[in-house]
Amino acid sequence: MAHADLVILGGGSGGYACALRASELGLSVILIDKDKLGGTCLHRGCIPTKALLHAAEVADSARESEQFGVNASLHGIDMIKVNEYRDGVVGRLYKGLQGLVKSRNVTFVEGAGRLVGPNTVEVNGEQYTGTHVVLATGSYARTLPGLEIGGRIMTSDQALNLDYVPARTIVLGGGVIGVEFASVWKSFGAEVTIIEGLPRLVPNEDEACSKALERAFRKRGINFSTGVRFASATQDDNGVHVTLEDGKTFDADVLLVAVGRGPNATGMGFEEQGVAMERGWVLVDERLRTNIPSIFAVGDITPGLQLAHRGFQHGIFVSEEIAGLRPMVIADINIPRVTYCEPEIGSVGMTEVEAKAAHGDAAITTYEYNLGGNGKSQILGTAGFIKLVQLKDGPVIGIHMVGSRIGEQIGEAQLIVNWEAHPEDVANLIHAHPTQNEAMGEAHLALAGKPLHAHA
């Protein structure tokens, strides 16, 4: 029986970050995964989808080149080559990660693990005990009752591996994954229709972002239906046929089901060992401890945002907690979020509606800086804005942005919100010209009462 300070079940973003930080702190680590080190993010999530989105941007640049006086033309999309490019990116990162884990003396065990005691995980008949056990088994793509995945009906797992561009696509779900695939497929030349049961696309974002995205998608020719729920889907040789609750029907070659991800936490002994769970999620306190003192849980199996960098932060947090460093808790609301469709959305902190609900309408000030006044955005030819939500005479508690490449501004945005900066603090700092980052400075200048390239 092997023993370590930490036994980590799951080697995705949360699990491997925990392993790397623990080993830095001098703790011994056994890291278990039944599949490839790196998990969803590296192999089926963030990285491969962003590679597709980059290829999509290249296609758009070729298609729109004439408007910049460049005579290029788009002859088509070779999905085999796009996939090779994507796999090259994933492969290099995977190799790097394997090397990193090895160099930190983490023991990697390949196989499906099962929790068999408060300190013990069993893999391939072997028992591994840890002074602490960290559960990090991630999430899976959900579907709806009666909507079976197979053939033309797929989740992001299958959609990522298509070796052709479908001519007509329906995307069920207008959340992050749905709008990203819709954006890629449109750029690759497909006809795209998004079906979202809630009244707007990206319904978790500030309403202003939804409106701007819907306007931009309309301009791009991406069709969408909002506010009416999906009823059923059938498939045959001619395609897939979707019906909504109001009787409206849509036909396409493929249907992407992007209705969210559920926790992958059942059937692995968690319940039998008495780990407190709710609707499949592993419950943790703010220090990521489960109800069993020796067991922590990180990443997508815990209720909250499903993001790779949240998993990284959870993993680092747990290692530091175990090492007695008492790390700082970061509330989910202050975790930066980026949606990488065209145009991008970046946000951190409270939306206007959330802020008003928490603090009262009178306590909140908002300001929207239009990218129309930003030189770099004009050069790129993008529309959008940076919207600030401020506690009156206090810190900025929410930043919401839309525009091509605007996701890159999330770094400063999250610093401002997490550092509880006031507009005057940011207004005194210098933002380089001509960058989109300048728009961040301009928005804060305006809110501090001294707008430069904006009307007072």
Rounded to an integer, what distance in angstroms lies between the CA atom of residue 101 and that of residue 342? 35
- In three-state secondary structure terms, 349 is strand
**Least Å from the CB of residue 114 to ligand FAD:** 7
Residue where the block lists tokens 């036994």: 7
Q: Is 168 in the site for ligand FAD (CB under 6 A)?
A: no
Q: Is 175 in the site for ligand FAD (CB under 6 A)?
A: no
Q: Is 40 in the site for ligand FAD (CB under 6 A)?
A: yes
CB 306, CB 11: distance < 8 Å: no
Task: Pick out residues in 358-417 that bind ligand FAD (CB under 6 A).
Answer: none
HSE (CB half, 13 Å, CA atoms) of 65?
10
Rounded to an integer, what distance in angstroms lies between the CA atom of residue 129 and that of residue 151? 42
Picking from 157, 186, 187, 158, the residue whose alpha carbon sits closest to that of residue 170 is 186
433 classed as catalytic: yes
Q: Is 288 in the site for ligand FAD (CB under 6 A)?
A: no
Rounded to an integer, what distance in angstroms lies between the CA atom of residue 190 and that of residue 181? 11
Amino acid letter at 212? A
Catalytic: which of 3, 43, 433, 455? 433
Dihedral of CA atoms 211, 213, 216, 217 in degrees, nearest 10, equals: -110
Give the one residue of 4, 5, 7, 15 binding ligand FAD; rule: CB under 6 A: 15
**Least Å from the CB of residue 289 to ligand FAD:** 17
**Least Å from the CB of residue 345 to ligand FAD:** 12
Picking from 295, 384, 306, the residue whose alpha carbon sits closest to that of residue 346 is 384
Give the one residue of 4, 7, 31, 33 binding ligand FAD; rule: CB under 6 A: 33
Q: From residue 111 to residue 140, what is the string marking binding to ligand FAD with x (rule CB under 6 A)?
A: -xx----------------------xxxx-
Q: In what order do the strands lie in the sheet with 191-196?
A: 153-154, 254-257, 168-172, 191-196, 223-226
Q: Is 239 in the site for ligand FAD (CB under 6 A)?
A: no
Instruction: Write the DSSP symbol of residue 330.
Output: -
Give the one residue of 11, 175, 197, 263 binding ligand FAD; rule: CB under 6 A: 11
Q: Is 110 in the site for ligand FAD (CB under 6 A)?
A: no
Q: Is 235 in the site for ligand FAD (CB under 6 A)?
A: no
Picking from 227, 260, 223, 229, the residue whose alpha carbon sits closest to that of residue 243 is 229
**Least Å from the CB of residue 446 to ligand FAD:** 30
Amino acid letter at 389? V
Give 268 or 426: the residue with its C-beta nearer to ligand FAD. Answer: 268
**Least Å from the CB of residue 206 to ligand FAD:** 19
> Which positions are catalytic?
433
Q: For binding to ligand FAD (CB under 6 A), which residues are involved?
A: 9-15, 32-35, 39-41, 44-46, 49-50, 112-113, 136-139, 156, 177, 264, 268, 299-300, 306-309, 311, 340
